[in-house]
């Protein structure tokens, strides 16, 4: 398989613990093994990408497990030769988390001091402890591979639970990565997410088979199967959006339940079971989970997740993010019950307040939290563009197209292009004015293009405000042919002059003489180079004129500091030469600011 990394052998490393022990928040471990997988290009100092896996995930990111015939990695479509995370370029490493049950030391591991599973004696640990085990592992791997210098990752990637580990890592140890990807995550669990975990853990600890955590020597050794299955069922509901659950199951009935023999139907009725497909689905998810996960591991991992709060640890989220040095990409998903877009935007806002490099994208897959694992077409394009940006090509005709707007910006200023499209104007500003620039875009295809040129881009509906961007963060806000396309031009201007000292606004002038002629004599809207759309297929929803714009500025208390009017026709130029901008200009470029 040309697009697969091939067979990936799991490996185990025994950590060299400083002083012979590792102190966690709840005790001491004197022996830690880490199960991990690695694949891709030969490991170098500048090409290591480390993955923090999801809550009940494992180290098998991509490839074929030994003994299997098909690839089975949890990010198979993202990682591989020629894929978004290209294994021809990057060396991929993922390790199972401390406290888990997939090979790294956890409650079900044998305690070398007793010869029995740790069970209830396994020390409670925090996110910090789990991340520090990763760091010890990577440092040791670095030395074993003969790499020079201190361990530093090209990129650190995590989604969900793993994304919160990335948050902890980039804040506490900011020198250990160049880039960080935080996907479907937050800096602390919200109350609803906490509640799901509380109920899930209670399902396990209230199961008599849990036995306080020491169940490995009793019965089949799997302990509280009923409680663990229930915890998984509850959690699984949160991984899918309401819309997806409705689409997949609605109130449809499960045929084998409906058609079951009378005695089986009576047994189900006596147990208050239903015939709904969703019940069958959740039963299946619970049973499947029992085959691969341990109840004690679930308790330890979810508790460490619940207790983490970056803002609490560092005084505030702003203070936490002020420590970050990595260039960050934050991604949220629509329909995510666990991690909302607002929580992602809060991270972005705090990073921006300290002048950090960050991009943000919100993807409306409609599938919910698990979308970052199952619906990755757009995510893969974004991740690929973020990890390996191309060198943008600025053409001379593009410089000519924007020359009047760029002339209004002083060299070296910080700009934001609201409605940046594919990033062309940002690239022109950077090359011709040495500007530092970011973009705002809602169309995902254009967003990817702008990001792939190395720009920081925020996915945002300008009509809904730019709340994630701090006040007066930029020198100049650019609105190039954006004003007439939004629903709330007044609100957008207010936002532009909240986040920037000045705004440069360009728009087609609907009072231009040719438009008046076409409407007055032909009785129809014109189609021209300046307005190349039929009325039924135009993005323009406001017919703004220069005089209308001036009246709006007067009403809002904005001063017009500079005006440039454009016309490609001799008569329009003649009208402009005698001062008739509203009649002669096909396009207006205005620099405004608050009085």
Whether 328 and 356 have beta carbons less than 8 Å apart is answered as: yes
Q: At what angle do helices 295-307 and 127-144 cross, to 10 degrees?
A: 100
| Assigned token pair, 39 | 């694949």
Cα gap 281→247, rounded to integer Å: 14
Catalytic residue among 60, 91, 125, 369: 369
For the chain, the maximum distance between any two Cα atoms, rounded to a whole number of angstroms, is 96
User: What are phi and psi for residue 123, nearest 5 degrees?
Assistant: -70, 140
- Residue 156 contacts by C-beta under 8 Å, 6 or more apart in sequence? 49, 50, 52, 166, 169, 170, 176, 177, 179, 180, 181, 326
| Assigned token pair, 112 | 């070398």
Residue for token pair 């910080």: 414
Instruction: Using the Cα atoms of residue 227, residue 228, residue 231 and residue 237 in order, give the sign of their dihedral.
Output: negative
Catalytic residue among 160, 203, 359, 506: 160
| Assigned token pair, 2 | 């040309």
Run of H or E residues at 362: strand 358-363
Closest-CA residue to 440 (of 463, 414, 417) = 417
Cα gap 120→108, rounded to integer Å: 10
DSSP string, 85-129: EETTTPEEEEEPPTT-SSSSS-TTSEETTTTEE-GGGSPP--HHH
Active site residue 340: no
User: What are phi and psi for residue 544, nearest 5 degrees?
Assistant: -90, 140
Cα gap 383→363, rounded to integer Å: 13
Cα gap 115→445, rounded to integer Å: 57
Active site residue 294: no
Instruction: Using the Cα atoms of residue 275, residue 280, residue 282 and residue 283 in order, give the sign of their dihedral.
Output: positive
Cα gap 404→576, rounded to integer Å: 15
Residue for token pair 């299997």: 68
Catalytic residue among 129, 336, 370, 438: 336
Active site residue 438: no
Whether 432 and 406 have beta carbons less than 8 Å apart is answered as: yes
DSSP string, 433-497: H--EEEEEE--HHHHHHHHHTT-EEEE--GGG--TTSPTT-EEEEEEES-GGGSS-HHHHHHHHH
| Assigned token pair, 290 | 């029992």
Cα gap 583→581, rounded to integer Å: 5
| Assigned token pair, 415 | 């700009």
Cα gap 435→405, rounded to integer Å: 13
Neighbours of 443 (CB within 10 A): 13
Residues assigned a catalytic role: 160, 336, 369
């Amino acid at each position: 398989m040309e697009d697969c990394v091939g067979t990936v052998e799991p490996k185990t490393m025994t950590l060299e613990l400083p002083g012979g022990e590792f102190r966690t928040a709840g005790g001491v471990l004197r022996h830690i093994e880490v199960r991990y997988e690695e694949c891709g290009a030969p490991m170098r100092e500048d090409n290591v990408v480390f993955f923090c896996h999801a809550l009940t995930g494992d180290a098998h990111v991509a490839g074929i497990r030994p003994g299997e015939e098909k690839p089975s990695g949890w990010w198979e479509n993202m990682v591989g030769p020629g894929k978004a995370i290209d294994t021809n370029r990057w060396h991929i490493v993922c390790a199972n988390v401390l406290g888990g049950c997939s090979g790294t030391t956890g409650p079900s591991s044998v305690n070398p001091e007793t010869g029995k599973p740790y069970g209830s004696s396994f020390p409670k640990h925090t996110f910090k402890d789990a991340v520090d085990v990763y760091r010890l592992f990577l440092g040791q791997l670095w030395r074993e591979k003969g790499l020079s210098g201190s361990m530093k990752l090209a990129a650190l990637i995590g989604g969900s639970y793993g994304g919160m580990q990335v948050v902890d890592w980039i804040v506490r140890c900011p020198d250990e990565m160049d880039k960080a990807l935080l996907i479907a995550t937050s800096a602390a669990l919200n109350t609803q997410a906490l509640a799901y975990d509380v109920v899930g853990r209670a399902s396990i600890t209230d199961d008599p088979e849990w036995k306080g955590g020491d169940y490995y020597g009793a019965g089949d050794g799997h302990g509280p199967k009923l409680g663990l299955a229930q915890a998984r069922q509850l959690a699984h509901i949160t991984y899918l959006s309401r819309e997806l659950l409705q689409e997949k199951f609605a109130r449809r009935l499960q045929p084998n339940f409906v058609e079951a023999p009378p005695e089986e139907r009576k047994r189900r009725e006596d147990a208050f079971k239903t015939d709904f497909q969703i019940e069958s689905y959740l039963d299946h998810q619970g049973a499947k989970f029992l085959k691969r996960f341990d109840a004690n591991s679930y308790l330890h991992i979810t508790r460490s997740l619940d207790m983490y709060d970056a803002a609490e640890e560092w005084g505030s989220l702003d203070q936490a993010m002020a420590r970050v040095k990595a260039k960050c990409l934050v991604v949220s998903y629509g329909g995510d019950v666990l991690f909302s877009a607002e929580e992602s935007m809060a991270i972005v806002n705090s990073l921006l307040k300290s002048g950090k490099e960050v991009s943000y994208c919100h993807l409306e897959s409609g599938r919910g939290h698990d979308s970052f694992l199952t619906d990755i077409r757009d995510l893969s394009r974004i991740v690929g563009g973020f990890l390996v940006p191309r060198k943008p090509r600025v053409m001379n005709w593009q410089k000519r197209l924007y020359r009047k707007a760029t002339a209004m910006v002083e060299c070296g200023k910080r700009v934001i292009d609201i409605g940046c499209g594919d990033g062309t104007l940002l690239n022109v500003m950077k090359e011709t004015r040495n500007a530092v620039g970011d973009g705002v875009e809602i169309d995902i295809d254009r967003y990817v293009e702008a990001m792939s040129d190395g720009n920081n881009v925020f996915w945002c509906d300008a009509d809904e405000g730019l709340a994630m961007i701090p006040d007066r963060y930029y020198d100049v806000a650019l609105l190039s042919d954006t004003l007439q396309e939004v629903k709330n031009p007044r609100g957008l201007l207010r936002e532009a002059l909240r986040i920037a000292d000045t705004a440069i606004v360009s728009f087609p002038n609907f009072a231009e003489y040719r438009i008046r002629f076409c409407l007055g004599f032909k009785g129809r809207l014109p189609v021209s180079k300046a307005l190349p759309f039929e009325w039924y297929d135009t993005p323009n929803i406001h017919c703004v004129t220069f005089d209308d714009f001036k009246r709006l500025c007067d009403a809002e208390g904005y001063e017009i500091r500079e005006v440039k009017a454009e016309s490609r026709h001799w008569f329009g130029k003649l009208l402009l030469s005698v001062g008739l901008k509203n009649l002669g200009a096909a396009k207006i470029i205005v620099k405004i600011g608050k009085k």
